[in-house]
Amino acid sequence: MQNNFKQPFDLTGHCALITGGSQGVGAAIALALAKAGSDVVLVGLQDDETAQQTLTACRNHGVNSDLILADLSGPPDSYLPGLLENVNQIAPKFDLLVNNVGTYIDKPYFEMDYETYQKTMHLNVTSGYFLTQAISRRWVEDDIRGRILFTGSINGILSEPDHTAYDTSKGAVAAMVRSLCVTLAPMGIRVNAMAPGLVRTPLTKVLDENQQLDAWMKLHTPNGQVPNADVCGGAAVFLLSDAAVHVQGQTLLVDGGMSVWQQPDPPCDWSA
């Protein structure tokens, strides 16, 4: 007798659209989903060496992997029609959406200008809101029980000086996930978020240049690690898989325990 049992984390037969999927956390998610059997369509700014490396790494797991170029930093009307048309040509039956695109370009609060604030909010909040809206409409029409994952951040619940726009945007993502859950769950569409703590990406390359800062951040993390972005992949697979069928409207923090520690004990040579 043939065994048709499917492992709960097996994503074979699924296809994921991943914004900001060519590098950093997005690439880590794409690779993890590919390992789990899902085809992937990456949305990125440019077709460069990094994007091609991510595509190749995904294809090495025997899945289809494609790249769509789009700039999501402006008003949705400027990119949504073209993006949806390209997706429809490449993967018309995709059923997983990862709203991962984002940026950190903050200035000190008294120097913050509207253009910088607006770009942060467009990329980190608005793009995911309206892409989810457009795709959910299509899923409801086609009776697809889709699954959506947002990339939030530990900064959605903890704050840093001179991160005012970024922190605001990531707090909005957590609230949006809750609101979209109660809106879309009755239609069979599952919405969650995965929120990394500090991980090594192109946006955090300062850690590789400043060993003192790197040591300081490790001190503030209970497991003492500032890992590569690939630690985010497993959480993404879980939240998009059958194993998380009753996990909805949640933000899973992938932070080594940073968010639960009031403050670490100072090192022996510390002085006020």
User: Which pLDDT tens digit goes with each residue over 93-120?
Assistant: 999 999 999 999 999 999 999 999 999 9
What predicted TM-score, i.e. pTM, was given to this entire model?
A: 0.93
Helix axes 233-240, 24-35, angle to 10 degrees: 60
- Helix/strand/coil percent split, the chain, to 5: 50, 15, 40
Residue with tokens 């090192």: 267
Answer yes or no: is 139 within a domain.
yes
pLDDT tens sequence across 110-164: 999 999 999 999 999 999 999 999 999 999 999 999 999 999 999 999 998 999 9
Tell me the β-bridge partners of 253.
Answer: 195
Answer yes or no: is 267 within a domain.
no
The residues, ordered by sequence, that sit 6+ positions from 272 with a Cβ below 8 Å of its Cβ are none
- Give the best-scoring range by mean pLDDT among 43-47, 195-199, 227-231: 43-47
Residue of 66, 69, 9 whose CA lies nearest to 40:
66
Answer yes or no: is 7 within a domain.
no
114 in active site: no
- Domain at 56, CATH number: 3.40.50.720
Answer yes or no: is 222 within a domain.
yes
Answer yes or no: is 30 within a domain.
yes
Residue with tokens 């930093």: 73
Query: pLDDT tier at 272 (50, 70, 90 boundaries)?
Result: very low
Residue 198 burial (10 A CB sphere; 0-12, 13-18, 19+): buried
Structural domain span for residue 183: 15-258
Distance of CA 166 to the CA centre of its chain: 15
CA distance 33 to 16: 8
Answer yes or no: is 241 within a domain.
yes
Answer yes or no: is 266 within a domain.
no
Residue with tokens 């968010």: 259
Tell me the β-bridge partners of 139.
Answer: none
- Which of the following is catalytic: 79, 104, 117, 166? 166
Amino acid in position 256: G
Q: Check whether 214 has a pLDDT greater than 90.
A: no
Per the structure, the count of domains in the chain is: 1
Answer yes or no: is 91 within a domain.
yes
